[in-house]
Amino acid sequence: MSETTPSADDSGARTSPVALPIPSLRAPSDGAQFSTDRRGRMLQDLRISVTDRCNFRCVYCMPKEIFGRDFAFLERDELLTFEEIERIARVAVQGGVRKIRLTGGEPLLRRGIEDLIAKLAAIRRPDGEKVDIALTTNGSALALKAQALKDAGLDRVTVSVDSLDEETFQRMNDVNFPLHRVFDGLAAAHEVGLGPIKINMVVKKGLNDHDILPMARYFKQTPYVLRFIEYMDVGSTNGWRLDDVVTADEIVEQISAEMPLETLNPTAPGETASRWRYTDGQGEIGVIASVTKAFCSSCTRARISTEGRLFTCLFANAGYDLRELLRSGGTDEDLDAALRGIWANRADNYSERRASLTPGTRRKIEMSYIGG
């Protein structure tokens, strides 16, 4: 058997995501927490993509040349319904999931997203606690929706902001979306209490690396925690090259030279960002170094794509077809057994192996499809 599960294999190019059948060898469903995977990791976080569509065309995620007018997005009946998402989430939470993150595409484009959040907020963990619900957004509709999201039970948001420079910001979203509207959304989210709010900045060399310091200076004075993300080789359409990556070390070094930083301990196991605190006590930053410092050994995440495939790695090229299981009459027990079996068999560690793989030899799922 290969070192990785089939969902993260590197067996060659494919034109579209492949659906893996649910493993026929099913672990017994005994109502207890799911067991660890083949590398000793627990399932704790579920990321759910609620749409593959987006109103932005960020150059590192949905380049216009590929995601143009003719691009075949999923049809409505292909999407998981809110009831189907709720069922999967409930079973996963019973098995140990503590955090759910809604993503996409742009999750606020999914009509009635508040109704889904209300359903998820009603789920209780085995200890009776509410599950933590977060959402990652480009912020474009946040001003409009913040109150309704909060009322529905959303705990917090992460907002993507790649630059404070209007020209660079618009060049990166590639649809001329103005920065001030994202800031209106941020203010609204802060006002209704959707915090702690995190800001995601993807850094791409030659595009927005000149904004690292201005972003750090600005957000240091706000209640928001800025996280720098190394530009990743997700999907196969963004033309990723290692040379375009500004490394976590370079980012921290640059900021620290002006505003000294010291490391902080992680607050939770499986945390993707390494945390740094300004030595003057005025705030912190996070750095997500999935290219240069792989964190696969603590990867406790599973991802559900918009049409209901379960991916156990962000860099997979195939996922398990949970929608088929649900729509062919599968019970919650079947779902529970399927999730247990898939997780128990998982051995993904793509980022740890990236350097030894031949670039361009495998087709991967797009970020806008699987969710970041």
Contact residues for ligand SAM (CB under 6 A)? 54, 60-61, 103-104, 106, 136-138, 160, 200, 202, 229, 231-232, 234, 238, 367-368, 372
Mark the segment that binds ligand SF4 (CB under 6 A) among 110-118, 126-134, 242-250, 294-302.
294-302
DSSP notation for 217-260: HHHHTSSSEEEEEE----SSSS---GGGBPPHHHHHHHHHHHS-
CA dihedral angle for residue 321, residue 324, residue 329, residue 330, rounded to 10 degrees: 0
Among all chains, which residue has been given the structure tokens 């495939």? Answer: 309
Nearer to ligand SAM, 37 or 52 (CB): 52
Cα separation, 350 vs 294, whole angstroms: 9
Cα separation, 85 vs 80, whole angstroms: 6
Label each residue of 69-100 as H, E or C.
CCCCCCCHHHCCCHHHHHHHHHHHHHCCCCEE
Q: Which does 234 bind (CB under 5 to 8 A by kind): ligand SAM, ligand SF4, none?
A: ligand SAM
Q: Which does 7 bind (CB under 5 to 8 A by kind): ligand SF4, ligand SAM, none?
A: none
138 binds ligand SF4 per the rule CB under 6 A:
yes
Site map (CB under 6 A) of ligand SF4, residues 234-273, x = contact = ----------------------------------------
Cα separation, 28 vs 25, whole angstroms: 10
Shortest Å, Cβ 143 to ligand SF4: 16
Site map (CB under 6 A) of ligand SF4, residues 50-89, x = contact = ----x-xxx--xx---------------------------
Shortest Å, Cβ 96 to ligand SF4: 17
Cα separation, 98 vs 177, whole angstroms: 34
Q: Which does 229 bind (CB under 5 to 8 A by kind): ligand SAM, ligand SF4, none?
A: ligand SAM
User: Which letter does DSSP use for residue 165 in this model?
Assistant: S
Taking CB under 6 A as the criterion, the residue among 155, 230, 321, 348 binding ligand SF4 is 348
Site map (CB under 6 A) of ligand SF4, residues 274-293, x = contact = ----------------x---
Cα separation, 95 vs 114, whole angstroms: 25
Side-chain half-sphere exposure of 360, counting CA atoms within 13 A: 4
Count Cβ neighbours within 10 Å for each residue of 267-296 and write b for 16 or more, e otherwise: eeebbbbbbbebeeeebbbbbbbbbbebbb
Nearer to ligand SF4, 94 or 312 (CB): 312
Shortest Å, Cβ 13 to ligand SF4: 19
121 binds ligand SF4 per the rule CB under 6 A:
no
225 binds ligand SF4 per the rule CB under 6 A:
no
Check if the beta carbon of residue 120 is closer than 8 Å to that of residue 130. Answer: no
Closest by CA to 201, choosing from 229, 238, 174, 223, is 229
Q: Which does 200 bind (CB under 5 to 8 A by kind): ligand SF4, ligand SAM, none?
A: ligand SAM
Nearer to ligand SF4, 255 or 299 (CB): 299
Residue 211 φ/ψ, nearest 5 degrees: -95, 0
299 binds ligand SF4 per the rule CB under 6 A:
yes
Q: What totals of helices (H) and strands (E) does the chain contain, helices first?
A: 11, 13
Nearer to ligand SF4, 305 or 368 (CB): 368
Check if the beta carbon of residue 277 is closer than 8 Å to that of residue 261. Answer: yes
Taking CB under 6 A as the criterion, the residue among 116, 314, 325, 326 binding ligand SF4 is 314
Positions that interact with ligand SF4 (CB under 6 A): 54, 56-58, 61-62, 104-106, 138, 160, 290, 295-296, 299, 313-315, 348-351, 367-368
